[in-house]
């Protein structure tokens, strides 16, 4: 059953079309990598899905519920989406534990066992709960950001280039930890990246955005073996 359904999504800025009629479905429990070169519209699509931007036309259904369409634009907090930005997601003045429970209803914020569970899920020791974010590496901070996004058990998790600020070694290690945590949580996720090898290695499915159009959505294997165009073959081929 699909957890995210997008039909005919269109968005322009100042008369310049950035998304041209995007159709996409994401099955439950799938990690979809949204891949495309810089400027192809990935962040705009993610922001529209999250409800930070309003589409000009088209519909978005999350878990069978319409969240955007003609005359309808549910705010992000009503969409049950977890969001992990590129970097700087954590509040520096709050402990790791307080960051993780930040988005939970007040009554649940004291649930320390939930913090320990979430830290374990993202591969960090429970003893990190009382640390300040600055005492963690960039990769560890991104794992805490994921733990926070997963805390309210969202229907969908959106990750916007979550590893782009990390150096090469940390990036590989953090990628795997994040993919493992999403799989263990059974989360449906959309991960935006311009990095071909990241998309091919992490995505169960890869959707390629090219100048605002979704030109192919397929498994990594199909995308690699049977890309729909020469341009795409060359772009995907840069991964190896
Ligand atoms: P990507 O994430 O793939 O790099 P973006 O979604 O950031 O692509 O941008 C796609 C296009 O939309 C770019 O040409 C960018 O300049 C334009 N764009 C994005 N946000 C805005 C905005 N708020 N106002 C005007 N143009 C924008």
Tell me what the mean pLDDT of segment 169-184 comes to. Answer: 90
CA angle 235, 207, 45 (to 5 degrees): 105
Best residue among 12, 14, 44 to mutate for probing ligand 1, ranked by most atoms within 8 Å of CB: 44
Tell me what the mean pLDDT of segment 64-69 comes to. Answer: 96
Does the interface predicted TM-score (ipTM) exceed 0.90?
yes
The two counts, helices (H) then strands (E), for the chain are: 8, 11
Q: Quote the pTM value.
A: 0.92
Contact indicator for 133, 144 with CB cutoff of 8 Å: yes
Q: pLDDT (tens digit, 9 = 90+) per residue, 104-156?
A: 877 777 778 889 999 999 999 999 999 999 999 999 999 999 999 999 989 89
Strand order, beta sheet including 81-84:
81-84, 156-160, 188-193, 31-35, 205-210, 213-218
| Sole residue written with tokens 């830290």 | 119
Q: Could you tell me how many residues make up the chain?
A: 240
- Output 237 or 56, whichever has higher pLDDT: 56
Please give the pLDDT value at position 239.
61
Measuring from atom 21 of ligand 1, which residue has the nearest CA?
13
Contact indicator for 61, 67 with CB cutoff of 8 Å: yes
Q: Which two tokens stand for residue 231?
A: 């341009």
| Ligand 1 contact via 43 beta carbon (within 6 Å) | yes
């Amino acid at each position: 059953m699909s957890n995210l359904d997008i039909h005919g999504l269109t968005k322009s800025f100042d008369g310049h079309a950035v998304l041209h009629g995007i159709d996409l479905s994401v099955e439950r429990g799938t990690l979809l990598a949204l891949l495309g070169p810089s400027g192809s519209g990935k962040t705009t699509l993610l922001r529209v899905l999250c409800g930070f931007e309003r589409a000009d036309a088209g519909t978005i259904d999350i878990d069978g519920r319409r969240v955007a369409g003609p005359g309808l634009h549910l705010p992000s907090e009503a969409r049950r989406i977890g969001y992990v930005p590129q970097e700087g997601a954590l509040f520096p003045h709050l402990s790791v534990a307080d960051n993780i429970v930040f988005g939970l209803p007040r009554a649940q914020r004291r649930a320390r066992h939930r913090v320990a569970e979430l830290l374990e899920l993202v591969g960090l020791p429970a003893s990190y709960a009382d640390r300040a974010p600055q005492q963690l590496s960039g990769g560890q901070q991104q794992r805490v950001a994921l733990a926070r996004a997963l805390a309210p058990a969202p229907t969908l998790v959106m990750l916007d280039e979550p590893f782009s600020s990390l150096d090469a070694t940390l990036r590989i290690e953090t990628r795997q930890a994040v993919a493992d945590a999403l799989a263990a949580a059974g989360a449906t996720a959309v991960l935006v990246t311009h990095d071909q090898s990241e998309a091919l290695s992490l995505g169960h499915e890869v959707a390629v955005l090219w100048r605002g159009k979704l030109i192919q959505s397929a498994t990594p294997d199909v995308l690699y073996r049977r890309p729909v165009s020469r341009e795409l073959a060359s772009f995907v081929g840069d991964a190896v």
